[in-house]
A and B are shown apart, each in its own frame.
Chain A
Amino acid sequence: MPIKNKVSLTIDGKPVTVPEGTLIVNAAKLIGVDIPVFCYHPKMEPVGMCRQCLVEVGRPVIDRATGNPVLEEDGSLKIQFGAKLETACSTPVSEGMVVVGTSAKAVAGRKEILEFLLTSHPLDCPICDKGGECPLQNLTMRHGPGESRFNYAEKMHLAKKFPLGELIYLDRERCIQCGRCVRFQSLIADDPVISFTDRGRSLQIFSHSEPGFDSYFSGNTTDICPVGALTTVDFRFEARPWELCTTASICAHCPVGCNLAINLRREARSNGEVVIKRIMPRQNESVNEIWICDKGRFGYHYTQSKNRLTQPLVRREGELVAIGWDEVLSYVAENFKDAGQNLLTLASGRLSNEDLFNLSELTSGLGGKSALYTDMAGGDLVTQLGVGKGTNLSDLGKGTVILVVASDLHEEAPIWWLRVKQAAERGATLIVTNPRYTKLERYASQVIRYNYGSEASTILAMINTLSAKQNFPKAPKIAQGGEAIKSAAETITSAENLIVFYGSEGIGLEASQALAQACANLLMVTNHVRKVNNGLIPVWPRANDQGAWEIGFRPLPNLKEALQQYEALYIAAADPAGDDPSLADVIRNAGFVVVQDLFLTETAKLADVVLPAQAFTEREGTFTSGERRVQRFYPGVVRNEYKPDYAITAGISKLAELNVEAVPFRIFNHLEAKVPTFAGINYRMLAQVTEQWPIVDRGGLYYGGTLYANAQGLGVQLSLPSQIPSLTWPEVPGVYLSEGQLLAVPVTILYDRGQTVIPSELLYLRIPSAHIALNPENARFLNLTDGTKVQFTLDGITVKVRLHVNDQVPIGVAIVPRSLGVSLRSPTPIEIKTIESG
């Protein structure tokens, strides 16, 4: 980025030097001068609508003849003030400028605008959810007229509860028409599903989408709303902001690692328990800025679900019955000791680094095997070729190429989608490579379509295209690509920086291993490795998959076979029987099965012992994001009936006479000592914070609630090992279809029917029912229409679901959304039949 010239000015007598182009309001913020704003938000371009930030602006008088500033008699610069007040939010600073917000004229201007706003405002602060964290309320306290000159009877009365959708309500009386929400939705989220309509004093916000306010980012508008006009349905009239205490957390839904603030309250109606009242974003400019998606905001309800396991269960005479913690842990420890090397621990990336490390310590201590429960591979390559330390998607712009392969980022990791989109808008070259349309394509300079199954060969073809010209190695058995691939390859090779996102659109474990290797090779041959703002980012299905790989967990190439081989199974945060019914029998037949989870999953139903674990909101720990940032989360709700996973494992270990720590920071210290990529990191470092821009926490609360501020840690990115891996050419698995078959492929959608989504009643309307999707042409050929019930066989199990017809589905393919009632772990040929109605 070009270094900008510095400009010196004074604001209310205080000198400040800032880069050219800085807006007055931001320069003032830096030196703690309060300039009130409503419509301005530092994440968006100024619009100068609300006029609240009026200041007097003086500029040095320049002698036209000489070009020099004119001096006063005392030698100081002669300053000329404009006749009108100017908006500090939209006026850039200039050398020698004198900004005055404290003069009688400026103060009067501010009061007058405030009086105008209040003529229409209902002043219902006593029942307003924003009360206590509302800039309008604060300004009214300070500058507001003591009495209204506006005739109260003439106030416009408008809807107090106007649903923009089922997630967000609008109070039309409180709205001050600042337009932040509308601009956020159209400029940042690019979901222009809310807008102003009507005009003048009747100007108001509405939504015309179906469902209303149809956006994955809608909740953010309630944060940036400067008054109590927009509220989330689950917080509306639920609590007063000053009753809440806050705990810092990390979102557990996807690998982005959004920083969260959990708002808690101890309340009578919850029997004196501390409960979560809302979840808001916490500022981390390197991860999520000040945004989160609606899954992160509204999905937490699963942690307070009535269906949570509340006590350990043991199988007695075929039934699962309650048992005490001490008793159950000894029972488990005995059995695990007996199993020894016949113990298989299967855990998922939903667990924290501490949980996984303890699981690994216990299992290896007994001589057993730990494995990662996942359908996506490549974490080992990410350990070696992940993004360089200091990488920040917000820094990417011109000169950077972002390649997204086999991933619908909008569905899989919405905040990454947002940040990649913004990087493209700043000038980064975005190449999207996917078998079907995804929303990210809107910002792509290039789109490459391939057939499902050809993801790895598409990337390898790029390398081979380059090999023709340069001394690159060449992938065997892969053809050179066509024009689109050629042009993408050339763009990539000449890029200053290259970031590759790879996901699991349409693929299972085996193919994703090949894809990850192909992407790794592309980074290596084009020399985009071990550098800041370069590297491989895996779009994992879970929050801490990368942590699991770093700690040494690896997926099992053949899960069914493995489950059959081992005598004892320790399954934590994984539901193999639920995800794949064909595994149920194998699990049922295993010698001793322990399931550690939040819910009585399909797998838990088959277990000999079920251990209730705490949710991420109830405990502390760390997650490692897809960008390899290790971040701490802290306990919010304390519930003693469940235990944190690491503690359960430590309890079993102790009884099995193994030395495993039970306190998170100590576990982390052990982890740090054993896992090289964690070397040098400790809990204290993870809790450190440096100043971030924009400043959202100082005075005024102009940019949202009190909760954006991050005082609990920005996290630390893992370093990369010094060795670059050697080039290995992957085997690309083939898929063969017979006559009359379609290829069923798994894809990820944000709102699925998984255990961490479905309990959220709020999201219920947005969660689709079980279905598969076909192209209209295939549907026509099969004589099927949208909504027909169809059946097919998968792994010997008959599946009956509704059919969706969608022209974005490629021909010959059946799209099967993951965790939506159809278990499909890798591409599989199927034959679709109608179910006779009746």
Chain B
Amino acid sequence: MNALLEKYPNEIQMILAKYPSDRAGKRSAVMPLLYLAQRENGYITKEAIAQIADICEVSTTEVASLIGFYTLYHDEPSGKYHIQVCTDLPCALRGADEFLEKLCQNLGIKVGETTRDGKIIVEAVMCLAGCDKAPMFQVQSPEGIEYHENQTVESALEVISKLREG
């Protein structure tokens, strides 16, 4: 009946085991389960929202509300790999804005757009705690998150071309 539960019975058990077993504790599993659901397609489907609500005994509205609040959850399909460049103050002081601009130029897209093959979306994000290794970016993919620091446009393009191949 619950596709998410059927697909990841062990992972879900491990997640639930972290928190108290009462109603309040079960709700804590919503965020980890949203990550789990996002693994599927890189975004969270309506069905997944209902499945998470069912597992955590909360309303679908309570699950869906988090997707809009937290920036790492996506509720619609976009590029498979989110190239998220930090352009916050410390990185900007070390050339992050220029880095982002040139990177986008090279990819032929604007910030926030997805490349034509649908694989890469480039976004400007807030501080990623890599201020001393600017310019830097993270790659958010369905599998997880990876940091790339002390970057040049060339090294970033290399990372991107590897992602496209993989």
**Residues in B neighbouring A467, C-beta threshold 8 A:** none
The listed residue with most A CB atoms (<10 A of its CB), out of B58, B62, B64, B65, is: B65
Cβ contacts A182-211/B at 8 Å (1 or 0 each): 000000000111111111000000111110
The reply to whether A197 and B60 contact each other, CB–CB distance below 8 Å, is no
The reply to whether B69 and A197 contact each other, CB–CB distance below 8 Å, is yes
The reply to whether A209 and B60 contact each other, CB–CB distance below 8 Å, is yes
**Residues in B neighbouring A208, C-beta threshold 8 A:** 49, 59-61, 63-65
> Does any Cβ of A come within 8 Å of B67's Cβ?
yes
**Residues in A neighbouring B63, C-beta threshold 8 A:** 208
Distance to closest chain B CB from A713 (angstroms): 38
| Cβ-closest chain B residue relative to A199 | B69
Distance to closest chain A CB from B44 (angstroms): 12
The reply to whether B61 and A194 contact each other, CB–CB distance below 8 Å, is yes
Within 8 A of A (CB), among B27-72: 49, 58-69
**Residues in A neighbouring B60, C-beta threshold 8 A:** 208-210
Distance to closest chain B CB from A209 (angstroms): 6
Within 8 A of B (CB), among A151-207: 191-199, 206-207
The reply to whether A206 and B61 contact each other, CB–CB distance below 8 Å, is yes
The reply to whether B59 and A197 contact each other, CB–CB distance below 8 Å, is no
Cβ contacts B94-134/A at 8 Å (1 or 0 each): 00000000000000000000000000000000000000000
Q: How many chain A residues touch the partner (CB < 8 A)?
A: 14
Distance to closest chain B CB from A200 (angstroms): 10
Complex CA–CA separation, A611 to B65 (angstroms): 54
Complex CA–CA separation, A208 to B48 (angstroms): 13
Complex CA–CA separation, A193 to B67 (angstroms): 15
**Residues in A neighbouring B58, C-beta threshold 8 A:** 192
**Residues in A neighbouring B65, C-beta threshold 8 A:** 195-197, 206, 208
**Residues in A neighbouring B66, C-beta threshold 8 A:** 197
**Residues in B neighbouring A192, C-beta threshold 8 A:** 58-59, 61-62
| Cβ-closest chain A residue relative to B59 | A192
The reply to whether B69 and A193 contact each other, CB–CB distance below 8 Å, is no
| Cβ-closest chain A residue relative to B58 | A192
The reply to whether A197 and B68 contact each other, CB–CB distance below 8 Å, is yes
| Cβ-closest chain A residue relative to B62 | A192
The reply to whether B61 and A199 contact each other, CB–CB distance below 8 Å, is no
Complex CA–CA separation, A163 to B129 (angstroms): 41
Distance to closest chain B CB from A437 (angstroms): 13
| Cβ-closest chain B residue relative to A193 | B61
Complex CA–CA separation, A206 to B64 (angstroms): 9
Complex CA–CA separation, A209 to B60 (angstroms): 6
Complex CA–CA separation, A192 to B66 (angstroms): 13
Complex CA–CA separation, A531 to B97 (angstroms): 76
| Cβ-closest chain B residue relative to A442 | B23
Complex CA–CA separation, A280 to B66 (angstroms): 33
**Residues in A neighbouring B64, C-beta threshold 8 A:** 195, 197, 206, 208
**Residues in A neighbouring B59, C-beta threshold 8 A:** 191-193, 208-209
The listed residue with most A CB atoms (<10 A of its CB), out of B59, B67, B69, is: B59
Complex CA–CA separation, A192 to B139 (angstroms): 35
**Residues in A neighbouring B61, C-beta threshold 8 A:** 192-195, 206-209
| Cβ-closest chain B residue relative to A207 | B61
Cβ contacts B65-93/A at 8 Å (1 or 0 each): 11111000000000000000000000000
Complex CA–CA separation, A524 to B45 (angstroms): 56
Complex CA–CA separation, A199 to B68 (angstroms): 7
The reply to whether A197 and B67 contact each other, CB–CB distance below 8 Å, is yes
| Cβ-closest chain B residue relative to A198 | B68
Complex CA–CA separation, A197 to B61 (angstroms): 9
Complex CA–CA separation, A197 to B63 (angstroms): 10
Within 8 A of B (CB), among A412-464: none
Distance to closest chain B CB from A634 (angstroms): 39
**Residues in B neighbouring A195, C-beta threshold 8 A:** 61-62, 64-65
**Residues in A neighbouring B69, C-beta threshold 8 A:** 196-199
Distance to closest chain B CB from A7 (angstroms): 33
**Residues in B neighbouring A191, C-beta threshold 8 A:** 59
**Residues in B neighbouring A210, C-beta threshold 8 A:** 60
Complex CA–CA separation, A318 to B74 (angstroms): 69
**Residues in B neighbouring A199, C-beta threshold 8 A:** 68-69
**Residues in A neighbouring B67, C-beta threshold 8 A:** 197
Distance to closest chain A CB from B97 (angstroms): 22
Distance to closest chain A CB from B119 (angstroms): 27
Complex CA–CA separation, A191 to B63 (angstroms): 14
**Residues in B neighbouring A198, C-beta threshold 8 A:** 68-69
| Cβ-closest chain B residue relative to A807 | B1
**Residues in A neighbouring B49, C-beta threshold 8 A:** 208
Distance to closest chain A CB from B125 (angstroms): 15
**Residues in B neighbouring A209, C-beta threshold 8 A:** 59-61
Complex CA–CA separation, A818 to B14 (angstroms): 45
Complex CA–CA separation, A198 to B75 (angstroms): 12
Within 8 A of B (CB), among A351-375: none
Distance to closest chain A CB from B43 (angstroms): 15
Complex CA–CA separation, A199 to B71 (angstroms): 10
| Cβ-closest chain A residue relative to B75 | A197
**Residues in B neighbouring A206, C-beta threshold 8 A:** 61, 64-65, 68
Distance to closest chain A CB from B65 (angstroms): 4
Complex CA–CA separation, A168 to B58 (angstroms): 22
**Residues in A neighbouring B62, C-beta threshold 8 A:** 192, 195
Complex CA–CA separation, A196 to B68 (angstroms): 9
Distance to closest chain A CB from B66 (angstroms): 8
**Residues in B neighbouring A197, C-beta threshold 8 A:** 64-69
Complex CA–CA separation, A206 to B66 (angstroms): 12
User: Can you pick out 10 interface pairs between chain A and chain B where the beta carbons lie within 8 Å of each other?
Assistant: A192-B58, A192-B59, A193-B61, A195-B62, A197-B64, A197-B69, A207-B61, A208-B49, A208-B64, A209-B60
The 3 closest A-B pairs by CB, nearest first: A197-B68, A195-B65, A208-B61
Question: Can you add 4 more A-B contacts, CB < 8 Å, to A191-B59, A208-B59, A210-B60?
Answer: A206-B65, A208-B60, A208-B64, A209-B60
